[in-house]
């Protein structure tokens, strides 16, 4: 009985958070209301979104003098770094040009990332699969001191809604409130009083998510298997993408041909269904602020396709057996790595797709040479293919690099795509996206900074809340 009395109810938790000024309220906004029945009384089906007051939260965050001191010191370090090393987007020409027209030395300009993704809750199966899928929107500062950057506490929820409701009401209604709030943070910002800084303004640099989510947000064609034009970065067609070893600059999408394609209104010829609602976001454009994701493109894409083919070849050549490989994986000492692949099955090798998390695949690729290097002929072409893949994973996961690094990386991509096409056949869309990485690295800085890996970890918190709640 005493234990029950000591338990904090939802009401008590909210009351304590309000007392500590840590409570961020969510506002329910009904975006659509439909009459369902008139007997025995009027009943309605409503489609709602729940959105947080991110302005209120940022005002509290930036009133913390300790946090503000660490952030300003880190930004000063980045801006004063004369070594040529690129660590963050605020060091790039792209970001400096974004804020040049309204720059004020008494204002702190912060890039922000907005993440979109859905997650399943309540383990609904059968007919109810997808019924309780929730579309989550998170926000994160694009520049944070290293000690804060990977912490989930610095990824904040912005909006929640049922995925089926989002699909029903469309992007315009679903995200218009987010756009209004983000435009306010850009235009007006929040007031601070720290050294010579009197205001903070926030610049949205990227909308992040997996390929399907980003295409859906910006109304690009999302059928990657049947559509003819499905690349959001260039206008290469399906046939060209299947055997393209490097990017064709002449086919790059830009702000001008984007509007031409919108006016043409023919998705089969342009790859665009309609103008993105996020064109209403100030100082942002779906093409100019284009995005790729290291996690889905490389760790859960290219590496997952290439590694089973490489392993299958080595087993066929009798360098080692599947049993031997699994024993090596089990016994291998990763030292500081926590995410170890359990095992590789015959099914994985049959369907040429290893089921693993992004972290597990990263560890497998980066340590595979130490696991089996002494068993394999170093002149074998599949071994050379693996070494190229390892170099690619190494480069895309770097937190900083020199200005010439993207050009070295691009040479590995060209050679990797050529050799993969020779040994394994058709290139998939995620191989094609690697062709665009060089220019995006030059434009935005380290691409690992925009990875969805940490964002997806945030889902677990809300899944646990849902499972433990009677709401």
DSSP string over 294-326: HIIIIIIIIHHHHHHHHHHHHHHTTSS-HHHHH
Dihedral, 38, 41, 42, 46 alpha carbons, nearest 10: -110
pLDDT score at 38: 66
Predicted local confidence at residue 82, as pLDDT: 77
Of 140, 69, 150, residue with least CA distance to 110: 140
Outline where 114-210 has alpha helix (H).
Answer: 146-149, 163-187
Reported as half-sphere exposure (CB side, CA atoms, 13 A), residue 88 has a value of 21
**Contacts with 336 (C-beta within 8 Å, 6 or more apart), sequence order:** none
Secondary structure E strands in 142-282: 155-162, 190-194, 197-208
> How does pLDDT run along the chain (471 residues), one tens digit per residue?
344 445 556 777 778 777 876 677 788 888 887 766 666 666 667 888 999 988 888 988 899 999 999 999 999 999 998 788 999 999 999 999 999 999 999 999 999 999 999 888 766 555 556 678 899 999 999 999 999 988 888 999 999 999 988 988 999 999 999 999 999 999 999 999 998 999 999 999 999 999 999 999 999 999 888 899 999 999 999 999 999 999 899 999 999 999 999 999 999 999 999 999 999 999 999 999 998 999 999 999 999 999 999 999 999 999 999 999 999 998 888 776 678 888 899 998 998 888 888 999 999 999 999 999 999 999 999 999 999 999 999 999 999 999 899 999 999 999 999 999 999 999 999 999 999 999 999 999 999 999 998 898 888 888 877 776 655
Q: How far apart are CA 78 and CA 128, in angstroms?
A: 50
- 229 CB-near residues (< 8 Å, 6+ apart): 221, 235, 236, 237, 238, 268, 269, 270, 271
In contact, 338 and 350? CB cutoff 8 Å: no
- pTM, two decimal places: 0.90
The pLDDT, as a whole number, for residue 336 is: 65
Give the bridge partners for 202, in sequence order.
110
- The whole-angstrom separation of Cα 273 and Cα 164 is 20
């Amino acid at each position: 009985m005493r234990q029950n009395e000591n338990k904090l109810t939802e009401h008590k938790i909210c009351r304590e958070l309000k007392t500590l000024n840590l409570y961020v309220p969510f506002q329910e906004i009904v975006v659509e209301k439909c009459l369902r029945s008139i007997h025995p009384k009027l009943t309605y089906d409503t489609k709602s979104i729940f959105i947080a007051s991110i302005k209120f939260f940022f005002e509290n965050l930036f009133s913390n003098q300790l946090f503000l001191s660490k952030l300003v010191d880190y930004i000063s370090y980045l801006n004063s770094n004369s070594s040529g090393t690129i660590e963050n987007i605020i060091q790039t020409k792209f970001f400096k040009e974004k804020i040049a027209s309204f720059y004020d030395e008494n204002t702190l300009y912060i890039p922000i990332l907005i993440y979109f993704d859905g997650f399943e809750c309540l383990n609904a199966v059968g007919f109810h699969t997808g019924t309780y899928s929730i579309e989550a929107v998170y926000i994160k500062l694009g520049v944070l001191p290293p000690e804060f950057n990977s912490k989930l506490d610095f990824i904040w929820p912005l909006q929640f809604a049922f995925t089926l409701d989002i699909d029903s009401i469309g992007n315009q209604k679903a995200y218009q409130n987010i756009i209004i709030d983000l435009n306010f943070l850009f235009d007006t910002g929040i007031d601070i009083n720290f050294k010579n800084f009197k205001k903070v303004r926030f610049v949205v640099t990227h909308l992040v998510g997996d390929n399907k989510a980003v295409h859906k947000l910006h109304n690009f064609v999302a059928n990657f298997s049947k559509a003819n034009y499905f690349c959001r970065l260039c206008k290469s067609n399906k046939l060209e993408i299947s055997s393209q070893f490097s990017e064709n600059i002449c086919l790059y999408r830009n702000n001008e041909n984007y509007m031409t394609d919108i006016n043409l209104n023919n998705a089969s010829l342009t790859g665009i269904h309609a103008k993105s609602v996020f064109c209403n976001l100030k100082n942002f454009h779906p093409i100019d602020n284009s995005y790729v994701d290291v996690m889905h493109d490389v760790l859960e894409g290219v590496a997952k396709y290439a590694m089973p083919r490489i392993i299958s070849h080595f087993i066929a050549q009798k360098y080692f057996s599947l049993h031997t490989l699994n024993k090596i994986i089990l016994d291998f000492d990763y030292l500081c790595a926590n995410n170890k692949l359990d095992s590789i099955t015959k099914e994985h090798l049959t369907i040429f797709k290893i089921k693993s998390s992004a972290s597990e695949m990263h560890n497998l690729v980066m340590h595979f040479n130490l696991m089996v290097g002494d068993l394999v002929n170093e002149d074998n072409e599949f071994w050379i293919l693996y070494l190229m893949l390892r170099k690619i994973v190494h480069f895309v996961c770097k937190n900083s690099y020199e200005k010439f690094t993207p050009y070295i990386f691009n040479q590995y991509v060209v050679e990797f795509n050529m050799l993969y096409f020779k040994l394994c056949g058709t290139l998939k869309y995620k191989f094609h996206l690697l062709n665009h990485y060089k220019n995006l690295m030059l434009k935005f800085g380290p691409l690992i900074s925009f990875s969805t890996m940490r964002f997806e970890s945030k889902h677990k918190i809300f899944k646990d809340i849902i499972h433990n709640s009677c709401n």
